[in-house]
Structure 1
Amino acid sequence: MENLIKKLDLSDYITSFLKLFAREKSIILEGDINIHYKIISELSKYNINQPLNVENLDSQLMHIQKQGVLRVYEIYEFIKIINYFLYLKKFNFEGKLLEMIDKIIIPADILKICEYFDDKANLKDGIDEDYDNIKQALYKNKEEIKQSLYKIINSSKIKPYLVDMQVHFINSEECLLVRGGFNHVLSGSVIDRSNAGFFYVIPHSVSDLKQKQSDLKNKQEEILFKLCKEISHIFEKNLLFLKFINKEFDKFDHYQARIFFSKIGDKNFILPSKNAENRLVDFCHPALSNPKPITIDFSKSVIMITGVNAGGKTMMLKSILSSIFLSKYLLPYNAHKSTVVSNFKSINAVLDDPQSVKNDISTFAGRMVEFSKLFEVKNAIVGVDEIELGTDSDEAASLFKVIIEDLIKNDIKIIITTHHKRLAALMASNPDVELIAALYDEENQRPTYDFLQGTIGKSYAFETALRYKIPLGVVKRAKEVYGEDKDRLNELIERSSDLEREYKQKIEKLDIEIANMQRISNNLKDQKEQLDEHIYSEKSKLHKEYKDARDEAKKAIKAKMVKESHQHLNISHKMAKEIQVEKVQEEIEFKVGDRVKYRNTKGVIVSIKGNKAFIENDMGIKVQVMIVDLSRSGNPPPKIPSKKAVVTIQKSETGSIKLDLHGQRADEAIENLDKFLSDALLAGFEEVLVYHGIGTGKLAFAVKEFLKKHPRVKSFEDAHPSSGGFGAKVIKL
């Protein structure tokens, strides 16, 4: 990782981030990045102080596990962590953050230990009586030493030998600075000499007090050791909790460091997405002091950057890889919130010249070693600077074209910079390749550091040489050697690529227009079907009005003129059949398996016989219909939710519970009866009445046999005498 950070010029950026950690650790934040992102988003809403600097406690945890005794400062490191979580528990968090804080339950005996120490890791008063007494004795002893020294300084005998009137602190000892011969008036020990040759002396009267001070400190250390032993024993009992809270502290340290880092320079967190879209918006590379924001779409598998020398191609490559790297480890950076990057398992940067005398490897051979490793990885992003480096450009173009095409199959995204137009021209026709050109301002003769997608850029080598102080005469001769023909050839290559891309864009535009025309055609067909349905509906209304009128007529003439009434009814039937509404319909040939529409129901053709067809509708009901009444339906049957099955049957608007077959031949009557039953089933009727009369009995027999064979007829019987008796049938469906 360090090597990649260095290649991407992110070293200073990462170092500045690491300084925000409370203790030294890696930038890697382990766990689900989506959960981390949610917690960071929630945590950033609160104004929370950064945690105090804490030492790494792995060795201390191991020491506790082995029943060792921690020192006071080591115990206080644990207390700093616990106090920080006590501070966090004061906030009214919500969501994932609240869940995380609620998991941290601090044991009561640990909480008690937190009250032992003040902010400077000193034991508070009242915790241990003996410790308090010694502390008081040490303070009194210190005052006695101070008074003794001032008494000696103010003595008239010693004044001639004093260099100054100050008390000096040398080698952790209070002493006086005196001249030679001091031993005539002062009894003491020399502990050091000054640069001027004077003596630093501790008076013997002070030495006795110092010895007493030393004895008191030893007793104080004994009491502290005893207390540390007790605390270490409590820590041992709560070892699992200490390990847990130590790990949770690192997690919160990661969160807090990232939040504070994002506030420096108003950076944004860009969460890696799972889709293939990749787009940088106003990205600024952190290594640049005054960067020009980059906006680029790199969603395609191969991004080939060409164009002017020193025009920002390599920095563009590093910017793309840097954005992927920083998003992968959830580090904020300067880019617009609309930036979208994918999540890659690995990031590879082939930027340096691998040539090495020590390893006996050439530039091209080193590049081949790097590329050979890529065939073993998947879901990776690779950045290659100056891909043709180290070998013949024509051979390299052919080789790298094939290599790149194979790497695309391994789900590898490749970012390439190159000056050789042959490779760009070879790859331009590939739909997975995006060409990007670094632009040059010919008027001002300098790069613009802008980029244009979809074209091959010119290198402007001669212009760049002039800009970097190469003599004009040298550049002119170089242009003559280069020749106009080769310059024209490069222009033709660029123009050919531009025309090819323009051709593809036109094809895409035509495809869109064709799709629109197809959509319009389908809409017109739907409108035609709706018009047909409207016409059919109007016809059905006319049928119903006629039926109502006929029923009224039957009631009026029921008691008399029976024969004449039947004749009139037959005439009315004939007239009803002659009611025709012209239906706008094109000739369609149907076959078994086609999805069709019959009135308000849709289904699949099961069989075809003559001008009739059996269809099974989406509710599983099989009905026989006339082919002319069918129309195509490309829509699949509606999906039924698995949790609750709901079946909806559209009732037929023309359904009737009665059918009169008087005066009809057997075959004609059976055909009408079949259609009548189909309509009744669609209408949802459970019981219908059919009049066939008695006569010779042929029609009654034909009706009876048909009903026996009909799959949807549950039962049938002769009607009640008031409803026709033996001349009618009550049919249950």
Structure 2
Amino acid sequence: MHAKMLRTLEFDKMIQLLSSHASSSIAEEASKKLIPSTNLEEVEKRLAETDEAVRVLRIRGNVPLSGIYAIKHHVKRAEIGGMLNPMELRQIASTLAVSKNLRSFVEGLVENEVDIPFLEEQVNTLPILTALEHTIKDAIDEAGDVLDSASDVLRAIRQQIRQNESKIREKLDSYVRSSNAAKMLSDAIVTIRNDRYVIPVKQEYRSHFGGIVHDQSSSGQTLFVEPQAVVQLNNQLREVRARESVEIERILMELSNEVALVGPEVMLVQDIVGHIDFVFSKGKLAHVMKASLPSVNQEGKINLKRAKHPLLDQDTAVANDIYLGNPHSSMVITGPNTGGKTVTLKTVGLCTLMAQAGLFVPALDGSEVAIFEQVFADIGDEQSIEQSLSTFSSHMVNIVEIMKQVNNRSLVLFDELGAGTDPQEGAALAISILDEVYSAGATVIATTHYPELKAYGYNREGVVNASVEFDVNTLSPTYRLLIGVPGRSNAFEISKRLGLSDTLIERAKGMVGSDRHEVENMIASLEENRLRAEKEADDAHDLLTDAQRFYDDMQKQMMEYYEYKDQLFEKAKVKAAKVVEKAQEEAEEIMSDLRFLKQHRLTDVKEHELIDIRKRLEEAAPKKPEKQQVEVKKTNRVLREGDEVKVLSFGQKGTLLEKVSEKEWNVQIGIMKMKVEEKQLEFIKGEKKAEPKPLATVKGKDFHVSLELDLRGERYESALMRVEKYIDDAVLAGYPRVSVIHGKGTGALRTGVQEYLRNHRSVKKIRFGEATEGGTGVTIVELK
């Protein structure tokens, strides 16, 4: 990619935005070096990494990346025998801590069966250097100071330093608190000069304290004196501090050597965590821009759904559908100045570059972007005073360079093609250039003011017209792109609304050729048809919304009905059980009395008779009624297409469409078409159609339920909620069997899901999937 073209399309500004989301200087530097790739596999890998980052940010909200530093130079210096300072060692420990935190973070995601292959691979490659991290942190604090605990020798030395300082302060405090202090001292304080403790003495009392003068005030009236009484103590303190410095150097050298021993591993940690930070920078940018993952192709197809310019305010920018490719590889956009033509060009160009760089694009899901070897752009006024080039000449210099390099893997963007010269010649030149670029197989978008190019798309195969909309009523552009409709010349309408007389306008219209009138009328007709189509689409959308609301209400009522029915059944069963339990207790009392009579030979009741009586009482306990088999009724009439029948297995009425085999028919039941065995069909002989029951209507409605439910990446509680709703939806849709995908992982989610399914009232049985069905990562559910 040419650096000039990247600047023209403002890719450098997008890189600045990306780098602002980096948590470390490593990721920031990687962002600044990012350039679009022309390799399909590389682009797909980059986008997959970004998609994984977006998914993790959506689930967890943040990633533990704070504390990454560029430590390679520190490690290299340690490897050649250099001594690292405390802050350098602390930065190494901080980076190692980030790697440890990332490992724990990713392991938590994996345990919850979140699909993150990139992060798993990266974390599994991370060297484990926890021991070095702890060694450094035990010796150096966050401010970069060496701790007393770094060594026993250092602890003893610092204890001695504190004792010496205490003696010196005690001696100097006696001077400060003495009765003569106010007279001989400038201030009653103890301070430090040249790393030695001193007191501020007035000039005239210098000889009273003896010792050494280390400094004086700017006026010369105050001398900072180290009294003779503490000179020896200060000397001892300096000696101890010198020993402290030697011990600290020894400790730092020892830590530096430990870093050098694992130098390659430490540098690998920086590379991995830095790259992860860079990938999450792309994920954060996608989140801020509300961007989505585009699919990519090498066929030159572009399909941006509700796309916005990436550098505009995403809350106020106008979204447009932009599609190009088979069968149209060229687009000519016409319309007024400041109407959004150049923004459209830059949107396509910048979104293409972003996708090839592995960034999400600000468009809806399902958008598609082509991978191009080169993206050429001739946009804006690049007039060069130094070269004495006019605007036209400047554009032509760019176009000449583009024409030399363009091929069938190029995206070419022309802004105001042919402008800056005679309109007739400029239009002819623009048409010639477009034909040449099209013949080279390139994908091209051009904007123009020339009316001659409005008809270009009608007589050129592979070319489509487009325009930016202009509201004549408000005399302002709407920034909407209209593909398939060339821009109208609104000069007459605008002039009329601004107050120009009708006479002048009519006279002007008479000077315009008939061909021009025909083109304008055709454009007006296209705009009228577009507005009508948009209104009809809005009406259809409203109807669909109402239907969906009705469907949701009916589904809710169905769920409430089944819950209510189950509650009633449970209540009835409990009540019946209590009645029978009471009867059994009474029966036991009677049997006890009978046994007593028998034992005392007062009656002839035999034991087997007692057992039969007890068995009959036990069988009186309520049991859940089993499903009755549908009785298949026979009919002597031969079924024909168009017959109204009753589908016995569903209890629904339908119409025969066609016979698909000797034993099966295609039957229309409400809005559903399904295959039914002929033995399950009963011919209806002219009987009046009964009004369908509301619940039966819902039962036969197409619920648009998928045959499988994917729970991978879900939390345990939310997964069970989804399973509960899905099984109910599948039962309502009439599915005999569905699949629940829970993945393998640790097995916690799989166990919980299967335990729930075993106890569900609508589940007949469950089993693991076969090898071709997903194995133990999938549970096959058969419904009642």
Q: What range is the shorter-chain TM-score in?
A: 0.5 to 0.7
Q: Which amino acid aligns with 2:309?
A: H
1:261 is aligned to 2:285: yes
Structure 2 distance, partners of 1:460, 1:198, is 88
Deviation of 1:179 (Å): 7.0
Query: Quick one: structure 1 residues 493 and 51, their matched pair in 2 at CA, closer, same or farther if it must change by over 3 Å?
Result: same
**Which residue of 2 is the match for residue 100 of structure 1?**
122
Query: Quick one: structure 1 residues 87 and 360, their matched pair in 2 at CA, closer, same or farther if it must change by over 3 Å?
Result: same
1:485 is aligned to 2:499: no
Q: Which amino acid aligns with 2:29?
A: K
Deviation of 1:207 (Å): 7.8
Deviation of 1:104 (Å): 1.6
Structure 2 distance, partners of 1:387, 1:352, is 11
1:142-221 correspondence to structure 2 within 5 Å: 151-160=174-183, 183=206, 189=213, 191=215, 193=217, 201=224, 203-204=226-227, 215-221=239-245
Structure 1 distance, partners of 2:494, 2:434, is 30
Query: Quick one: structure 1 residues 436 and 500, their matched pair in 2 at CA, closer, same or farther if it must change by over 3 Å?
Result: closer
Contact residue 271 and residue 330 of structure 1 kept, 8 A:
no
Structure 2 distance, partners of 1:398, 1:381, is 22
Residues 575-624 of structure 1: CA distance to partner in whole angstroms, max 9, x if unpaired?
xxxxxxxxxxxxxxxxxxxxxxxxxxxxxxxxxxxxxxxxxxxxxxxxxx
**Which residue of 1 is the match for residue 85 of structure 2?**
71
1:37-48 correspondence to structure 2 within 5 Å: 37=50, 39-41=52-54, 43-44=56-57, 45-48=59-62
**Which residue of 2 is the match for residue 321 of structure 1?**
349
Residues 40-59 of structure 1: CA distance to partner in whole angstroms, max 9, x if unpaired?
25533345444235443443
Deviation of 1:440 (Å): 1.4
Query: Quick one: structure 1 residues 426 and 268, their matched pair in 2 at CA, closer, same or farther if it must change by over 3 Å?
Result: closer
1:380 is aligned to 2:410: yes
Structure 2 distance, partners of 1:365, 1:267, is 38
1:340 is aligned to 2:365: no
**Which residue of 1 is the match for residue 687 of structure 2?**
none
**Which residue of 1 is the match for residue 306 of structure 2?**
282
Residues 483-520 of structure 1: CA distance to partner in whole angstroms, max 9, x if unpaired?
752486544344567899999xxxxxxxxxxxxxxxxx
Contact residue 431 and residue 453 of structure 2 kept, 8 A:
yes
Report SS of the residue matched to 1:279. strand
Decide which moves more: 162-171 or 219-228.
162-171
Structure 2 distance, partners of 1:330, 1:292, is 23
Structure 2 distance, partners of 1:156, 1:321, is 85
Report SS of the residue matched to 2:150. coil
Give the one of 328, 331, 334 matched to 2:359.
Answer: 331
Structure 1 distance, partners of 2:395, 2:136, is 59
Report SS of the residue matched to 2:29. coil
Deviation of 1:86 (Å): 0.7
Structure 2 distance, partners of 1:139, 1:337, is 67
Contact residue 190 and residue 199 of structure 1 kept, 8 A:
no
**Which residue of 1 is the match for residue 154 of structure 2?**
131
**Which residue of 2 is the match for residue 292 of structure 1?**
317
Deviation of 1:369 (Å): 2.8
Deviation of 1:455 (Å): 1.5
Deviation of 1:307 (Å): 0.9
Give the one of 75, 78, 103 matched to 1:89.
Answer: 103
Decide which moves more: 68-77 or 482-491.
482-491
Q: Which amino acid aligns with 1:284?
A: K
Structure 2 distance, partners of 1:169, 1:332, is 60
**Which residue of 2 is the match for residue 20 of structure 1?**
21
Residues 95-150 of structure 1: CA distance to partner in whole angstroms, max 9, x if unpaired?
41223211223257645645544444444543322233334344455556665665
Deviation of 1:252 (Å): 0.8
Structure 1 distance, partners of 2:362, 2:196, is 55
Contact residue 167 and residue 176 of structure 1 kept, 8 A:
yes
Deviation of 1:294 (Å): 1.2
Q: Which amino acid aligns with 2:306?
A: D
TM-score when normalising by structure 1: 0.58
Contact residue 419 and residue 459 of structure 1 kept, 8 A:
no
Q: Which amino acid aligns with 2:128?
A: I
Deviation of 1:312 (Å): 1.8
Structure 2 distance, partners of 1:2, 1:141, is 66
Structure 2 distance, partners of 1:465, 1:62, is 74
- Structure 2: segments with no counterpart, 5+ residues: 111-115, 530-657, 663-784
TM-score when normalising by structure 2: 0.54
Contact residue 69 and residue 92 of structure 2 kept, 8 A:
no
Structure 2 distance, partners of 1:316, 1:306, is 11
Residues 512-547 of structure 1: CA distance to partner in whole angstroms, max 9, x if unpaired?
xxxxxxxxxxxxxxxxxx99x99xxxxxxxxxxxxx
Deviation of 1:318 (Å): 1.9
Give the one of 309, 328, 347 matched to 2:337.
Answer: 309
Query: Quick one: structure 1 residues 141 and 430, their matched pair in 2 at CA, closer, same or farther if it must change by over 3 Å?
Result: farther
**Which residue of 1 is the match for residue 393 of structure 2?**
365
**Which residue of 2 is the match for residue 242 of structure 1?**
266
Structure 2 distance, partners of 1:448, 1:501, is 14
Query: Quick one: structure 1 residues 461 and 356, their matched pair in 2 at CA, closer, same or farther if it must change by over 3 Å?
Result: farther
Structure 2 distance, partners of 1:500, 1:180, is 100
Contact residue 308 and residue 320 of structure 2 kept, 8 A:
no
Query: Quick one: structure 1 residues 180 and 276, their matched pair in 2 at CA, closer, same or farther if it must change by over 3 Å?
Result: same
Deviation of 1:266 (Å): 4.4
Contact residue 76 and residue 263 of structure 2 kept, 8 A:
no
Structure 2 distance, partners of 1:265, 1:500, is 34
Report SS of the residue matched to 1:298. strand
Decide which moves more: 241-250 or 285-294.
285-294
- Structure 1: segments with no counterpart, 5+ residues: 504-529, 535-733
Structure 2 distance, partners of 1:169, 1:425, is 89
Structure 1 distance, partners of 2:71, 2:365, is 38
Report SS of the residue matched to 2:399. helix
**Which residue of 1 is the match for residue 723 of structure 2?**
none
Report SS of the residue matched to 1:89. helix
Structure 2 distance, partners of 1:414, 1:173, is 78
Which has more radius of gyration?
1
1:48-63 correspondence to structure 2 within 5 Å: 48-63=62-77
Residues 56-75 of structure 1: CA distance to partner in whole angstroms, max 9, x if unpaired?
34433543454444333223
Deviation of 1:418 (Å): 1.6
**Which residue of 2 is the match for residue 227 of structure 1?**
251
Structure 2 distance, partners of 1:146, 1:155, is 14
**Which residue of 2 is the match for residue 402 of structure 1?**
432
**Which residue of 2 is the match for residue 519 of structure 1?**
none
Deviation of 1:84 (Å): 0.8
Query: Quick one: structure 1 residues 2 and 276, their matched pair in 2 at CA, closer, same or farther if it must change by over 3 Å?
Result: closer
Structure 2 distance, partners of 1:335, 1:174, is 69
Contact residue 300 and residue 443 of structure 2 kept, 8 A:
no
Report SS of the residue matched to 2:459. coil
**Which residue of 2 is the match for residue 705 of structure 1?**
none
1:415 is aligned to 2:415: no
Query: Quick one: structure 1 residues 491 and 315, their matched pair in 2 at CA, closer, same or farther if it must change by over 3 Å?
Result: farther
Deviation of 1:283 (Å): 3.1
Deviation of 1:177 (Å): 7.2
Q: Which amino acid aligns with 1:288?
A: L
Deviation of 1:90 (Å): 1.4
Deviation of 1:85 (Å): 1.0
Contact residue 50 and residue 279 of structure 2 kept, 8 A:
no
Structure 2 distance, partners of 1:112, 1:342, is 49
1:296-695 correspondence to structure 2 within 5 Å: 296-300=321-325, 301-332=329-360, 334-374=362-402, 375-378=404-407, 379-458=409-488, 460=490, 484-486=510-512, 490-495=516-521
Structure 2 distance, partners of 1:326, 1:261, is 11
Cα RMSD of the aligned pairs, angstroms, is 4.5
Aligned residues between the structures = 502
Structure 2 distance, partners of 1:144, 1:487, is 108
